[in-house]
A and B are shown apart, each in its own frame.
Chain A
Amino acid sequence: MGKRILTALIIGQTALYICGCVPENKNVGKTPGITDTEIIIGSSSALGGHASFLGTQTIHGSLAYVNEINEQGGIHGRKIRVITYDDQYDPPKTVTNTQRLIKYDKVFALFDYVGTPTSVKIIDIVQEAGIPALGFFTGAEALRTPYRPYMFHVRDSYYSEAEGSVAYFVDMLGLKKIAVMYQEDDFGLAVLTGVQLALERRNMETIATATYIRGTMDVEEAVQTIKKSGAEAVVMVGTYSPLAKFIKKSHDAGFTPYFHTVSFVGSEAFGKEIVETQKINPAQHDKIIVTQVVPCPFSDHLAGVREYQKLIKKYYPNDKPNFVALEGFINAKVLVKALRDAGRDLTRGKFIAALESLQNYDIGIDKGITYGALDHQGLEGIYYSKVTKQGIFRFSGHNEKKDIK
């Protein structure tokens, strides 16, 4: 029924265009994605395929908040509609989806993109279209440096996570031999570079590096290379299955260093893989660290997290609280705040201005969001988490961002 009305509307609209008598609405209509009743936002992410958990959870987190806002009457009389496309974590598909969102769906802004190789492919498109893009589920430096005037980041960068892990291993534990095992692509190299820079600041170098091919589980050779180096800690970059296997194989080879990976891994899936699939010895759990860019989603002492838990339960009763969805939820809070601040006469310029003037905007997680004219990094500082017997990551502290530039 809804679909039919929509179709009728589209046909009607097209007819009007042909007649050349489109009803002009001066304020609305000039800005893409803004109608009298709606703000249309576009998103392309991995809703299917091997990384689908990341895409769907990000979107669920965001929609939980957006739905609540819409239910309360929207923003200045408009409801937010998010158009989501599945790119299966495949960069060419991300490009096609983005072009479609900008050109055909005429969305107001881009939102909730997931992944490094996917996101870097749309940098030029965003720049050329002059479309605001907010909330990337990646910490890739390429999206941050050089300065990207239309891109706004909520979560902190991989460089920060790499710095965090090096700080943990070197400064806190006093380890000297750090190795990197990474997925041989832009994502892997991004984190690797972060680790190299962090070590360089301490006049150190990686003791060894090893790779595996994206989409494969071939980590045995990497285990051999790293083990040979005698590394005391291994920073791993990749997806949860091969990483969990890497840990298992290392243990099998009698090699038990500290392991670390970045937030992108998807902590829940990784935990499940470690506990259930690979059945890693629980005695070793303490030596598996994941850096996080959002606080613990199970915590009950942060107002923002409680709000997230409440709304997820309301709109996605089957979902369990997780890091990814919490990040999506936070993204949506920033989106809604800026849309609201920009006022009823919404334009992309005003939206960007509203974002850039956010000063320590309280999202209820003890840290505020602050942007500036030349600073599009919202949250700063990372959290450390460790695996538990249930496979869920628990918190062991957090690290404020140091000056790493």
Chain B
Amino acid sequence: MNLTFKTILSFILIIVLVAAANIYSTSYVLRNLQEERLKTSEVLFAKSLSKRLFRAVIDQRINKITDVLFEEKGLREEKIEYIMVVDKKGHLLAHTYLNNIPGKFLKIENAFAKKEEYRLEKIEDRELSVYNIAVPVMEGIKQVGAIHVGIRSDYVENIVTPTKTASHFSLIITLIITLIAVVIAIPLSRTITNPLVRLKNFAEKISRGELETQIDIKTRDEIGDLAGAFNKMSTDMHKTISSLDQEISERKKAEDEIKSNYQVQSVLSKLLNISLQEISLEEQLKIILEHILSISWVSLVSKGAIFLVEDDAGVLVMKAQHELAAPLLKSCARVPFGRCMCGRAAASGEIEFADRIDERHDTRYDGIAPHGHYCVPIMHEGKVLGIINLYVKEGHKRDQREERFLWAVADVLAGIIRHKQAEKQIKYLAYYDDLTGLPNRVLFKDRVENSLKETQRYNGLIAVLFLDLDNFKKINDTLGHRMGDLMLKEVAMRLKTCLRESDTIARKNENLSESILARLGGDEFTVLLINIGHIEDAAKVSQRILEVISQPITLDSHEVIITASIGISTCCIEEENVDSLLKHADTAMYKAKKDGKNNYKFFNQSMNAAVMRRLDLENKLRKAYINREFMLYYQPQFEIVTGKIVGMEALIRWQHPEMGMVPPMEFIPLAEETGLIVPIGEWVLNAACTQNKAWQDEGYLPIKLSVNLSSQQFKNNDIIKTISKVLKDTCMDPRYLVLEITESIIMQNKEKTISMLNTLNTMGLSLAMDDFGTGYSSLSYLKRFPLDVVKIDRSFIKDVTGSKEDAAIVKAIIAMVHSLELKVIAEGVETEQQLNFLLEHGCDEVQGYLFSRPLPSKDVSNLLRKGLVLPVPR
């Protein structure tokens, strides 16, 4: 299809579409217009009539209706053909016909759907044609009749006639335009297509390279312009091509220059980019070095290092290196100024270049490979910050372009290093106290905050000590600020040392794990104790600090004694946030001052008392150990079938000279926390074994003696040594020693404990599992341990006759333990019913108040002498 035909066809298509749309829309509008007009006037009329007549319709007041109908019709004679009113059954009530109604009009539907407001239909008859508007007559929501109004068709159509004519007219116009368009389109498209064909041919010529030819179209329109442009283009192309060859060679030269400059720039910008990364200076230097070494156009071997001058001037410290020979890593870790090529470059501030290993290479090693160097100083304001050491091939020629580049790299590096140093300095100033080098308030608070979060998560305990020197102002005033500063430095030193000590001690017994010391300003210091086991630990640390500080201080030949007051607040017993912790510690410190200085106080009064009480008890406990205030009581164990005494459990008692008998529940936990349990435990073992041996020596039947072991004793590897020593010292046969351990001991460190228990087992003594049933114990554990006896926890025995569950548990334990071929012993047996239950279910041994309470050793002797059997009739 050619262009002409296409043009004409599209013309026609468009026109036909427009015409069709026009006709359709006109007729659509026409229809809508009719209905709209009827709705706005005639339907409204019918509705108002319906509203006016609804009651009359209900009441069938035909006269009234008829009157109204004729009156209304009279007013609208020209358009209304008839009005009819029917009642709810569809019976005609009134109408405006003078004679009969044409049959057709009687058949109009009268029922309306709910919410149907009106109905419009066209009705045609031989004689007349009307639009019938029907509306319901409503009483509330109930239809009571209908009204029909007939509007003459000719009236309705008259409303819209002009519009109709207009639509016909527009159709004719459309046709005419189509014809004219076709007539015009043919020659028009010709005038466009002809020159286009010629242009096409010309363009083909140009593309073949015939640039001297021209095209002859001179019309004054777009096509003429296009031809002109074609001509100009062919001329210009001719000119351009000839000058192009010359230009290309010049460009190439310049390009090379630009390329190298660009590479320098891009390397530098990459370096700067690296400097923006949030990594340490060392890492940055490493990346930068690798980057420099990877540049292809600088004649480098892929080897080199970067040195920096650190605090003590005159020494270069290697901070980054790439593939240096192993011996160099050590020998060149620190290079003094003047030594080697690097040292020389640092001393002179100039690039040192060598094309081979020469006399300036002070460091030699076996297997050194031939090479040369660029050593480029990193300078800042005339000061050397470091050296870049790069390897080149032996015989490499010194190159100005390379040097320029290396200087540029060094400059960038200088910037980066300075920036990092400044950053570090700023950080230091922001977080540390200048005078003492201790963390300042900001850092301290930050640390407190962090550990608070930890503590709250793990339900731990932390303490803040607030320390203020007593009468420091006086020292400042009398000895001067310099002395004051020296004093603060000394105090800081002492505090540091003191805390380091207590940290180390603490780590051993796992109570204290860490502490942080800070100076808030003036003579105020704070200490954060993290993860302490007890508030007493805070008291102990405070006490130690007070002692350390009150040692005489020599300041420039003056000997000064200073004391301090400490306030303590803790979390999370009463404080929940950093500020209140600090504030309360501060308040407590003032209390300490008020109380005569050189002491410490807790913020919480009751805590003061509680701590004092505990510390006191702890002291007494220590003394008790030294003063031998402990003694052992023994509770007999009976074989349930024979009723014979087969064993004793040794139980510790503390007889304090003032407090009297202290129950084990009160002092055993304390002994465990303070670690005193280890020596006390050792004493118990010793005493028990000695006693048992004594009984045997006295001639009684040998019995087994059970001794309880604490988990603390197991943490200490010495327990095995201790036991063998005790056995040896007392000459006890290990068969008569039973060690009672709890489940928690085993759970602490299963593997280690099992191996220790195995060792003990091979030594010949028996092992009993104490308090069985209260922990995690399962059959599989029991199987893995070299046990001999399992002791059912007293809590199950207590209710064994009252609670079905406990009875079931005890039964199960006995059965289970027997299946492992171990013995079962029940403790805490207090009633005959309990005894009968245990007997019935096969328990091996029993122990409890029903038979005997724990007795002092002399009473036991009596008992043994009598050879007592179970006092209960069975």
Contact = CB atoms under 8 A, between A and B. Distances in A.
Contacts of A205: 142
Interface in A35-94: none
Interface in A175-202: 184, 189, 192-193, 195-197, 200
Contacts of A196: 140-142
B139 A200 contact: no
B141 A209 contact: no
B140 A193 contact: yes
Interface of B: 55, 58-59, 139-142
B141 A200 contact: yes
Given A196-B141, A196-B142, A206-B142, 7 more contacts: A192-B140, A193-B141, A197-B141, A200-B141, A205-B142, A209-B139, A211-B55
Contacts of B142: 196, 205-206
Nearest to A197: B141
Max chain B C-beta neighbours (<10 A), residue from A197, A200, A211: A211
A184 B140 CA distance: 11
Interface in A113-167: none
A189 B55 contact: no
Contacts of B58: 209
Contacts of B55: 184, 211
Nearest to A192: B140
B248 to A, nearest CB: 74
Contacts of A193: 140-141
A209 B59 CA distance: 10
B163 to A, nearest CB: 32
Nearest to A193: B140
A179 to B, nearest CB: 13
A209 B58 CA distance: 9
19 contacts: A184-B55, A189-B139, A189-B140, A192-B139, A192-B140, A193-B140, A193-B141, A195-B140, A196-B140, A196-B141, A196-B142, A197-B141, A200-B141, A205-B142, A206-B142, A209-B58, A209-B139, A211-B55, A225-B59
B contacts with A: majority SS: mixed
Max chain A C-beta neighbours (<10 A), residue from B55, B139, B140: B140
Interface string A198-237: 0010000110010100000000000001000000000000
Contacts of B59: 225
A198 to B, nearest CB: 11
B81 to A, nearest CB: 30
A206 B59 CA distance: 15
Nearest to B142: A196
Contacts of A195: 140
A200 B114 CA distance: 13
Closest 3 CB pairs of A and B: A193-B140, A192-B140, A196-B140
B543 to A, nearest CB: 63
A206 B142 CA distance: 10
Nearest to A189: B140
A195 B139 CA distance: 12
A283 B854 CA distance: 97
B360 to A, nearest CB: 85
Contacts of B141: 193, 196-197, 200
Contacts of B139: 189, 192, 209
B307 to A, nearest CB: 71
Nearest to B139: A209
A291 B140 CA distance: 20
Nearest to A190: B140
A316 B407 CA distance: 102
A185 to B, nearest CB: 11
Contacts of A184: 55
A184 B139 CA distance: 10
A376 to B, nearest CB: 23
Nearest to A200: B141
Max chain B C-beta neighbours (<10 A), residue from A184, A189, A197: A189
Nearest to B144: A209
B56 to A, nearest CB: 10
Nearest to B51: A189
A73 to B, nearest CB: 44
Nearest to A191: B140
Contacts of B140: 189, 192-193, 195-196
A149 to B, nearest CB: 24
A264 B58 CA distance: 26
Contacts of A189: 139-140
A205 B141 CA distance: 11
A184 B58 CA distance: 13
A200 B139 CA distance: 14
Interface string A386-401: 0000000000000000
Contacts of A197: 141
A19 to B, nearest CB: 48
B145 to A, nearest CB: 13
A189 B51 CA distance: 11
Contacts of A192: 139-140
A96 B598 CA distance: 93
A61 to B, nearest CB: 32
A34 B772 CA distance: 84
A404 B59 CA distance: 30
Interface string A303-337: 00000000000000000000000000000000000
A58 B59 CA distance: 37
A379 to B, nearest CB: 25
A59 B142 CA distance: 37
Contacts of A211: 55
A256 B201 CA distance: 112
B87 to A, nearest CB: 14
A189 B140 CA distance: 6
B48 to A, nearest CB: 14
Nearest to A213: B55
Max chain A C-beta neighbours (<10 A), residue from B55, B58, B59, B139: B139
A380 to B, nearest CB: 22
Contacts of A200: 141
A205 B143 CA distance: 12
A205 B59 CA distance: 18
A196 B142 CA distance: 8
A138 to B, nearest CB: 17
Nearest to A188: B140
A86 B55 CA distance: 31
A107 to B, nearest CB: 33
A310 to B, nearest CB: 42
B59 to A, nearest CB: 8
A200 B140 CA distance: 12
B64 to A, nearest CB: 13
Max chain A C-beta neighbours (<10 A), residue from B58, B59, B142: B142
A145 to B, nearest CB: 13
A176 to B, nearest CB: 18
A213 to B, nearest CB: 9
A195 B59 CA distance: 20
A1 B59 CA distance: 61
A130 B450 CA distance: 59
A146 B653 CA distance: 91
A209 B142 CA distance: 11
Nearest to B58: A209
A195 B58 CA distance: 18
A225 B60 CA distance: 13
A334 to B, nearest CB: 31
A6 B58 CA distance: 57
A211 B139 CA distance: 11
A41 B535 CA distance: 71
A225 B139 CA distance: 16
Contacts of A206: 142
Max chain B C-beta neighbours (<10 A), residue from A200, A209, A225: A209
A228 to B, nearest CB: 12
A196 B141 CA distance: 7
B781 to A, nearest CB: 62
Contacts of A209: 58, 139
A195 B140 CA distance: 9
A298 B621 CA distance: 84
B302 to A, nearest CB: 75
